[in-house]
Structure 1
Amino acid sequence: MELRRHSLKHFFPYLYGEFTQLGGDIKHLLKFKLPEASDYGIAGSIQGLGLGALFLVLFTGLLWFITWNANLSWSHDIEDVHKLLTGLVQAYMIGHGVMGVLHIFVYSKSLKGG
């Protein structure tokens, strides 16, 4: 699992006040260049967003299951939050896939010298 290989700081450097690498990566992106993957950079932060979103979906799913089994009136509200977060994870995955294809395109173009 990624959390065993890397610390939380790798995925959430901004929570630890580490902005140096993120700033450098953003400067690269603004120049339409892909930054190299590095510790505390944008690649790890993007992974952190995905991990955080998945944990939120897991948490709200469990909470919805518990409240639904307990027949609580607000279980439908938890269901709505869970569905919203699931939609955000789907959007993240689609965006992540599109960016992956873009990376392949940019990388292949740079190999051809263009």
Structure 2
Amino acid sequence: MLSRLRNAVNALFISLPIVEKTLHFLIALWVILQLLSSAGMHIHSDTAEMDWRWIDRLHMYSGLSLLPIAVLFFVVVLRRRGAADLYPWRFSHWRQIKSDLVQLRRRQLPPPKPSGLAATVEGLGLFALLLAVFSGTSWYLAQAFGLSFSSTLLSLHKSLVGLIELYFYGHTGFALLHLMQFWRANELSK
């Protein structure tokens, strides 16, 4: 079973450069850590730093550490794929997205293509990741310097994290669908 899973994951990531694969894996683990640790946090706008618990600190310092990795990942992916591939709607490139949606309506999983639905979702996921880490970092710095708007930034961060959470679950779900499709295709070819 483990070898089947490894083969399927390798097939999904076969076209990615090793740096991108590594960053993808690291960020996935980091996001899982952030989501799990956030469930145990009880930070409010009036929580004093001396009242922060270990889980609060783990989440904050891990999030601060995620910032440069997330920016690096964004730059690596953007340089390889280009803005028009990740954000085709921004450039009025709708043809491939429409084609992918037609395939989904037929209950077929469209293969990833440039400027397609998968690329668009990846671009939105990268944007959601950056929003989460930048808003969290902004809150951390604002509260550290005692700025009056830090509570607004904390509320903003908590709201924006919902986007990355939604993306994470959707991305994982579609990855599982692709794995099942890979296994089904391999079973049929035997």
TM-score, normalization: structure 1?
0.88
Matching of residues 12-51 of structure 1 within 5 Å: 12-51=87-126
Aligned to 2:159: 84
Counterpart CA distance in 2 for 1:2 and 1:14 is 18
Give a deviation string over 1:52-88, Cα, whole Å, max 9, x none.
Answer: 1011112212321232123122211111111221232
Q: How does 1:1-114 map to 2 (within 5 A)?
A: 1-113=76-188
More displaced 10-residue stretch of structure 1: 46-55 or 64-73: 64-73
TM-align CA RMSD: 1.5
Q: Which moved more, 1:99-108 or 1:31-40?
A: 99-108
Could you tell me how far 1:112 is from its partner in structure 2? Answer: 3.8
Percent of pairs with identical residues: 30
Aligned residue pairs, count:
113
Give the TM-score taking structure 2 as reference length.
Answer: 0.55
Deviation at 1:110, TM superposition (A): 3.9
Gaps spanning 5+ residues in structure 2: where? 1-75
Runs of 4+ with >6 A deviation: none
